[in-house]
Amino acid sequence: MAVYDVTMIPGDGIGPEVAEATRRVLEATGVKFNWDHRDIGMAALDKHGELIPQETLESIRKTKIGIKGPTTTPIGEGFRSVNVALRQELGLYANLRPGKTIKGVQSTFSDIDIVVVRENMQGMYSGVEFDAGKPETAEVIAKINELNNKKVDPSAAISIKIITEEATRKIATFAYEYARANKRKKVTIVHKANIMKFTDGLFLRVAQEVAARYPDIETNDRIIDNMCMQLMQKPDQYDVLVMANLYGDIVSDLVAGMVGGLGVAPGGNIGEGVAVFEPIHGSAPSHAGKNEANPTAMILSGAMMLRHLGELGAAIKVEQAVEQVIGVGTKVTYDLREDRDPSKAVGTSQMADAIIAAIHA
């Protein structure tokens, strides 16, 4: 039987608790793992003096697969977001965020099954920014004003949105390959090409070129604002959505809200031959160390990892066990209870115990 080398990054805040719950659930499937425990975020800053230690990156490059808890980004100048930096360092160009209704999780919506595919490396997250009032900003603005009819106010702060043909082709191909492999019927290209004619115009054009190679999958496109409204009005008409970075960040949280919030929303960051799975939620510092955080999002990220490894049977076991425990509703964390009463809820590790019992049942 295969033993999978996996880099395990517990992260900060509630991270270590939900990561431990996830490790136990994944092992309960019978799949064998050789965990390489590594630090990132505040835990790494304390121990190694840097937010993303080289040894953590090297471990993921070697194992090719990581599972990560949330990290706290320290507030203050000079700190990049750990997650953005990790995605850039490892070339994790595709962010995969499925939003699927779990019976028993409170939500205004029901029967949601939408997958957001977000470009992870460029767009508004290129990291090319110029602060207001700085000499280099004045230089950039002067050059823009020389080249462009529309003048930029010299007091402006500037962020550069970058969209390349190559990156768009990659993310669109990823979305269509995902759709085909997972028997999804439709891909919607989301953009704002009516206003951002060059950047989003390029995204739409290239994504449509890719779409032409997948005649078995229906394609349409939506302008981002209309997309948000339509998700509220007729979510059943949408299947896989592909979009640039910032739109994907926002729409995937919207979809997470439609299936009951951050506590149940998993995610994966996928590159060429390397992938890191992580819940969408943050480190929720106010819940840290209290054994009360909901482990579902990270456990479902673990199920996504199992699918990625080709362990489909084990992934389904985990997903069904999570659904069963939440469906019964007695051994769930406080946030999954209608009354949100912590005295009637169980803790993180007890919810994991219930999921493990359901796997073994």
The residues of the shown chain that bind ligand NAD, judged by CB under 6 A, are: 14, 70-73, 83, 262-263, 278, 281-284, 286-287, 293-294, 297, 335
Phi, psi at residue 102, to the nearest 5°? -110, 125
Number of other CB atoms surrounding residue 187 within 10 Å: 27
CA–CA gap between residue 69 and residue 280 (Å, rounded):
9
What amino acid positions are annotated as catalytic residues? Answer: 125, 192, 225, 249
CB of 259 to ligand NAD, least distance (A): 14
Phi, psi at residue 217, to the nearest 5°? -115, 130
CB of 120 to ligand NAD, least distance (A): 12
CA–CA gap between residue 351 and residue 332 (Å, rounded):
5
Nearer to ligand NAD, 211 or 346 (CB): 346
Which residue from 246, 95, 221 is spatially nearest to 161, judged by alpha carbons? 246
CB of 228 to ligand NAD, least distance (A): 20
CB of 281 to ligand NAD, least distance (A): 3
Do 39 and 70 contact (CB within 8 A), yes or no? no
Alpha helices, H only, the chain: 15-28, 42-48, 54-63, 82-90, 135-147, 165-181, 199-211, 224-233, 245-258, 296-308, 312-328, 348-360
Long-range contacts of 334-339 (CB under 8 A, 24+ apart): 334/292, 335/261, 335/263, 335/294, 336/104, 336/105, 336/106, 336/263, 336/264, 336/294, 336/296, 338/106
CA–CA gap between residue 155 and residue 191 (Å, rounded):
29
DSSP 50-72: SSS-HHHHHHHHHHSEEEE---P
CB of 14 to ligand NAD, least distance (A): 6
CA–CA gap between residue 261 and residue 222 (Å, rounded):
24
Phi, psi at residue 64, to the nearest 5°? 75, 0
Which residue from 216, 246, 121 is spatially nearest to 171, judged by alpha carbons? 121
Nearer to ligand NAD, 117 or 297 (CB): 297
Which residue from 39, 82, 43, 36 is spatially nearest to 59, judged by alpha carbons? 36
Residues, the chain, total?
361
Q: Measured at CB, which residue is nearest to ligand NAD?
A: 282
CB of 265 to ligand NAD, least distance (A): 9
CB of 269 to ligand NAD, least distance (A): 10
